[in-house]
Amino acid sequence: MAKVYFIDVTNRDGVQTARISLSKLQKTMLNWYLSQMGVHQSEFGFPFLGHERNYILANLALHRKGAFENMVLEGWCRAVEGDVRGGLTTGVKHLNISIPTSDQMIVHKFGGRLEREGIIREMVEAARAARDGGVETLGVNAEDASRSDMEFLVEFGQAAREAGAARLRYCDTIGYDTPDSIRQRVNQLASRLGYPIELHCHNDLGMAVANSVAGAAGAIDAGVDAYINTSVNGIGERAGQADLLSCIMALRFGRGLSEGYEIADPIDLTVAWRLARYTADAFQVPIPINQPGVGANAFAHESGIHADGALKDRHNYELYDYQLIGRVEQVCEPTGRTITTGEYGGMAGLKYVYERLGIAFADEETGRFVLNLVQYANAHNQAPLTDDELRFIAMYPEEVRQILTIKPPAPKGSGELRSVRTRGKATVLLH
């Protein structure tokens, strides 16, 4: 029986959102939380980008150590052979490659450089380079699929499968689809292609979750597995993407969905609350008060009728229990003497904080090494470290050291960069 899997793209698509960002350590922690939650796959970054390289290498090493349990780490790049080959030097074994398929983008992004035949040719060359380079699972992305001609999508999908793709990603890149249209289109596409479909939906019309779930249903009705792309708290470009928790809860509790559409991932919903709060703090984007499940008002009642009904039986006005997603009755904050450790901390404070977490250092040298990592990690995040971050640093110090190491490339040749200011404008010269 066909099932639903989740691929979270917060660490790839979410971090592309304007005005917000994550540090490499925060991206790593997000992978850790996602793995604790049981999500099938994390699209964890851009293996061909220089500033991602140490993060990619360290996370792959963490995966080999079992830090992310069975979660798949998958990289993303353009369907360009050079990008693929560059990315494969990191040792990444799972990859998604992307190229537009709509005439709008073919004409107005490529400006005549490529036509439909060229799009397929570029994709096939990149896909073959990936498979020849040792990629174990390959996803091929049809960017702007919702505005693409169906016959061309089928041709594109068939060529992708022949080139080694395990899945075709149907991208509703600008949130154009509706639940009815995406279910029908994905069902037709899946029926004709006969292999799994990914749903990648944006929220420009506020329907990303509904579209993702409807598209998944269309794929499963056609007899193939569905992979829903999500981001934590719905963070994503422009108006955002499909929220991870909302999609899970829709499939768990939605009428007509909970009975016939099975989630394959071993989801542990009790992690959802910690994941949502960590992500909100890391992005510095507060969780909306009305966010499903994790918003401040998700289980709040004031109306007399509602309060009376909830006090008699909470299921009168609550579809599911707050304990299910790991929410607690109260969050306690210390108000007396508080000892922290961070960028300017010392050994006494470090030992005190770690002892409170139940962690002791084998010797002074280990403690000094962890202290240095904590100082650098605090500077790296530009935010106080959480208890889970402190635990992670102590558990995987060598990998954390690599994650914190980012070295910009030197200028080509032996020249040095200097800045010259002329009439209020700065010019960078190489000499």
Average pLDDT rounded to a whole number, residues 327-355: 91
Is the separation of the CB atoms in 350 and 393 below 8 Å? no
Instruction: Report the pLDDT value the prediction gives residue 416, as an integer from 0 to 100.
Output: 65
Instruction: Report the pLDDT value the prediction gives residue 420, as an integer from 0 to 100.
Output: 63
The mean pLDDT of the chain is: 94
Instruction: Report the pLDDT value the prediction gives residue 425, as an integer from 0 to 100.
Output: 64
Would you place residue 331 in the very low, low, confident or very high pLDDT band (cuts 50, 70, 90)? confident
How many CB atoms are closer than 10 A to CB 408?
7
pLDDT above 90 coverage of the chain, percent: 88
* Helix (H/G/I), strand (E/B), else coil: 375: helix
Which residue is listed with tokens 């404070």? 349
End-to-end Cα separation, the chain, in angstroms:
65
Question: Is 427 a residue whose pLDDT tops 90?
Answer: no
Q: pLDDT higher for 350 or 259?
A: 350
Is the separation of the CB atoms in 341 and 376 below 8 Å? no
Q: pLDDT higher for 424 or 273?
A: 273
CA 332 to chain centre: 29
Would you place residue 279 in the very low, low, confident or very high pLDDT band (cuts 50, 70, 90)? very high
Q: Of 22-31, 210-219, 227-236, 335-344, which gets the smallest average pLDDT?
A: 335-344
Q: Say which residues have a Cβ less than 8 Å from residue 117's Cβ, sequence separation at least 6.
A: none
Question: Is 230 a residue whose pLDDT tops 60?
Answer: yes
How does DSSP classify residue 231?
A: B
Q: What is the CATH number of domain 4-283?
A: 3.20.20.70
Most confident of 105-119, 206-220, 254-268: 206-220
Q: What is the pLDDT of residues 149-179, one digit of tens each?
A: 999 999 999 999 999 999 999 999 999 999 9
Q: Is 45 exposed, middle or buried (0-12, 13-18, 19+ CB in 10 A)?
A: buried
Q: Is 332 exposed, middle or buried (0-12, 13-18, 19+ CB in 10 A)?
A: exposed
- Residue ranges of E strands in 130-231: 137-143, 167-172, 197-201, 226-230
How many whole angstroms separate alpha carbon 314 and alpha carbon 336?
36
Phi and psi at 167, nearest 5°, equal -150, 155
Q: Of 64-68, 194-198, 294-298, 405-409, which gets the smallest average pLDDT?
A: 405-409
Average pLDDT rounded to a whole number, residues 312-324: 93
Cα 95 to Cα 59, 391, 405: the distances in Å are 15, 30, 24
Is the separation of the CB atoms in 242 and 230 below 8 Å? yes
Question: Is 418 a residue whose pLDDT tops 70?
Answer: no
Query: Taking CA 396 as the corner, what is the angle to CA 267 and CA 28, rounded to the nearest 5 degrees?
Result: 50
Average pLDDT rounded to a whole number, residues 4-13: 98
Q: What is the pLDDT of residues 9-47, one digit of tens each?
A: 999 999 999 999 999 999 999 999 999 999 999 999 999
CATH 3.20.20.70 domain range(s) in the chain = 4-283
Q: What is the pLDDT of residues 121-153, one digit of tens each?
A: 999 999 999 999 999 999 999 999 999 999 999
Cα 55 to Cα 27, 34, 162, 228, 401: the distances in Å are 9, 17, 32, 25, 10
Q: Is 266 exposed, middle or buried (0-12, 13-18, 19+ CB in 10 A)?
A: exposed
Is the separation of the CB atoms in 385 and 391 below 8 Å? no
Phi and psi at 142, nearest 5°, equal -95, 95
How many whole angstroms separate alpha carbon 168 and alpha carbon 190?
9
Q: What is the pLDDT of residues 349-378, one digit of tens each?
A: 999 999 999 999 999 999 999 999 999 999
Length of the chain: 431
Phi and psi at 45, nearest 5°, equal 160, -165
